[in-house]
Structure 1
Amino acid sequence: MTAVIGSELQSTDRYYTRVSDRPALIERTEPAVWGDHASAGMLGAQELAAHERDGFVTVPQLLTPDEVAGYAAELDRLATDPAVRADDRTIVEKTSQEVRSIFEVHRISEAIGRLVADERVAGRARQILGSEVYVHQSRINYKPGFGGGGFYWHSDFETWHAEDGMPIPRAVSISISLTENYAHNGCLMIMPGSHKTFVSCVGETPAEHYRESLKEQEIGTPDQGSLTALANRHGIAMLTGPAGSATLFDSNCMHGSNSNITPYPRSNIFIVFNSVENQIVEPYYAPSRRPEYIAAREFTPVSS
């Protein structure tokens, strides 16, 4: 049974998690769009309204076909570079040992570093967050055919709050597709509108939890009752589309993806922008900080 937090349980932190033996649903008070809906920018008023309502907005053709080909080649280069594979920032699949993710990729790859600062990318993040932004996290997600693992339902903000010390959900992620996203090859799934509800999870954070959670997360994942309640309330959107398309989504969206048992790989560049006015502090519900390649503590604004 999922409880709704009452005022008597809200002490110093509204978004408490991993400290109770009962899950809870906490209604969010902060907006998803902090900027002026009427201001000029890459996103129009209708797109900003959709982001506020649903927690995400899609950009059909963020990259040109030539750019997609160039970044896809860069992903292949990184995945086959022995030095990159041996780096702590590279995560491999538990079973296949294929590369699953490469973190802090905007510092490893000059090409992706330039993409992060591109106005088509960072400019949209500034518009949504209503401030200058910095990169909280960047990574490549590989989901090869015949074995790419899934990501169970979760809210990124729950982890970033508990383990990284992000104060409030004033961050936005952008997932840029470099392959076709089909309904059957592990596409991103989001519960539209779920960003307005924070799910307080059960289970204390172990020491160095990131070593296991980046391969398969268990602590910090919602209970089935909360997921059922959110799915019944909001439904589930499957975000498909061609290579070069992108999705910006709020840090508190309930999202996940299935494993990929098809022959068709799915890979994307994933960048998390946090507001410079929402800089992370000490972890709220973890014994120590995660490495800075997972949760940056360099808050210099992204410059174009």
Structure 2
Amino acid sequence: MTIADTGRVVLRDSSTVDLYPTRFPANEPARGGWIDRSDPTVWGVPGHGPVEAAELARHERDGYTVDDALLTAAEVREHRAELERLSADPALAQDERVIREPGSNAVRSIFEVHRISEAVSELARRPQIVDRARQLLGSEVYIHQSRVNFMPGFEGNGFYWHSDFETWHAEDGLPRPRAVSLSIALTDNYPHNGALMVIAGSQRHFLPCAGETPDENYRSSLVRQRAGVPAAADIGELAERYGIEQFTGAAGSALWFDSNIMHGSGSNITPYPRSNIFLVFNSCENMPQAPFAASQPRPTYIAARQPQENSH
């Protein structure tokens, strides 16, 4: 595959235009600078789903929406028990979909969880969830990625600042940021136990990252991301421009957030664990192509290539 540099636009195979080039050689960190997003955050319209006009407008502006009570207390208990069952399941002990914390060997994430767990599969198919995803993306949707995240008390490591779309574009081949994530809290989210931080409004800008993608980068990036990490100066400028907000709330609450919003979380040194179910919906009009900045796509348990691979 030939990649020809044309400034801020990269042509792949002389037919596909890369609107969001990234992962430049480390000695060219500033090539092109920030790219103002050419795509909307909200693709759908009022009346074509459960979200009313005012809430759609806020999501377009901020890049995220909070649902204070997506799950009932009984549903939280059910899914928390399911996560505990999965993390202790001997059949999954050597499964490559299970990612462990470095050093402690505690379970950090389990990928493709909606195919492993019937309870999560049912959750991912709920009309109240799927219809909102369809409205936000203005099309039919499928699950690009699902996982559960565990952040145990005292030893849970955080996730550094990043845009999910930067990785999904570079390593999975998503052409545009026409995807939305849903993070469902199964434990209370406090400011002090590693709750997710977002920079509201940052989804309007794509931040190219320096450093080319190593082969099989996913094997280490799912534990600690190195490629695709934005420059500290860029994070500082985003924070100065928009501020930093934090998703806190009771178990059962949920956060819908745009694929390109800058977000991250600190480590958890408190006694209070934090766990969540994470579902990524991609538009069926935004199907993966060849990776834009990697030699090969990641495995389908991390990023589905076709709707039927990770269908809802």
For 1:22, give the aligned amino acid.
P
Post-superposition offset of 1:10: 2.5
In 1, Cα distance between equivalents of 2:83 and 2:225: 24
Structure 1 position 31 matched with structure 2 position 9:
no
Q: Note if contact 1:117-1:302 (Cα within 8 Å) is conserved in structure 2.
A: no
Question: Residue 18 of structure 1 corresponds to which residue in structure 2?
Answer: 23
Partner residue in 2 for 1:51: 59
Within a 5 Å distance, the mapping from 1:183-262 to structure 2 comes to 183-262=191-270
Provide the rounded CA distance (Å) in 1 between the counterparts of 2:306 and 2:198.
29
- Contact 2:98–2:107 under 8 Å retained in 1: yes
Who is 2:281 aligned against? 273
User: Which AA in structure 1 matches 2:19?
Assistant: R
Deviation at 1:41, TM superposition (A): 2.8
Q: Distance in 1 between matches of 2:311 and 2:41?
A: 20
Q: Which amino acid aligns with 2:9?
A: Q
For 1:10 and 1:288, locate their aligned partners in 2 and report how far apart those are by CA, in whole Å: 21
Q: CA deviation at 1:47?
A: 1.6
Alpha-carbon distance in structure 2 between the residues aligned to 1:208 and 1:11: 23
Percent sequence identity over aligned pairs: 56
Secondary structure of the corresponding residue to residue 249 of structure 2: coil
2:110 to 77, 84, 102: 102
Cα distance in structure 2, aligned partners of 1:70 and 1:147: 25
Taking structure 1 as the reference length, the TM-score comes to 0.95
Residues 287, 306 of structure 2: 8 Å contact kept: no
Distance in 2 (alpha carbons) for counterparts of 1:189 and 1:266:
14
- Within 2, Cα distance between the matches of 1:10 and 1:282? 16
SS in 1 for 2:80: helix
**Aligned-partner Cα distance in 2 for 1:281–1:220:** 19
How many Å apart are 1:9 and its aligned residue?
3.0
8 Å contact kept, 2:186–2:275: yes
Contact (CA 8 Å) 1:122, 1:302: kept in 2 or not? no
* Alignment deviations for residues 98-128 of structure 1 (CA, whole Å, 9 cap, x no partner): 0000000000001100100101211111110
Which residue in the other structure is 2:8 paired with? Answer: 9
C-alpha separation between the residues in 1 aligned to 2:52 and 2:102?
Answer: 42
Q: Secondary structure at the match of 2:270?
A: coil
* CA positional deviation for 1:8: 4.3
> What is the Cα deviation at residue 302 of structure 1?
5.1
Q: SS at the partner of 2:181?
A: strand
Distance between the aligned counterparts of 2:182 and 2:237, measured in 1? 26
- CA drift of 1:89 comes to 0.2
Deviation at 1:299, TM superposition (A): 1.5
Q: TM-score, normalised by structure 2?
A: 0.92
1:168 aligned to which of 176, 183, 205: 176
CA RMSD after TM alignment: 1.3
1:240-273 deviations in Å (ceiling 9; x for gaps): 0000000000000000000100000000000000
CA distance in 1: counterparts of 2:205 and 2:23, whole angstroms:
16
1:179 aligns with 2:184: no
Equivalent residue letter for 1:26: I
Q: Unaligned 5+ residue runs, structure 1?
A: 1-6
User: What is the aligned length?
Assistant: 296
Counterpart contact for 1:62–1:120, Cα < 8 Å: no
Long gaps (5+) in structure 2: 1-5, 12-17
Give the residue type in structure 2 aligned to 1:272.
V
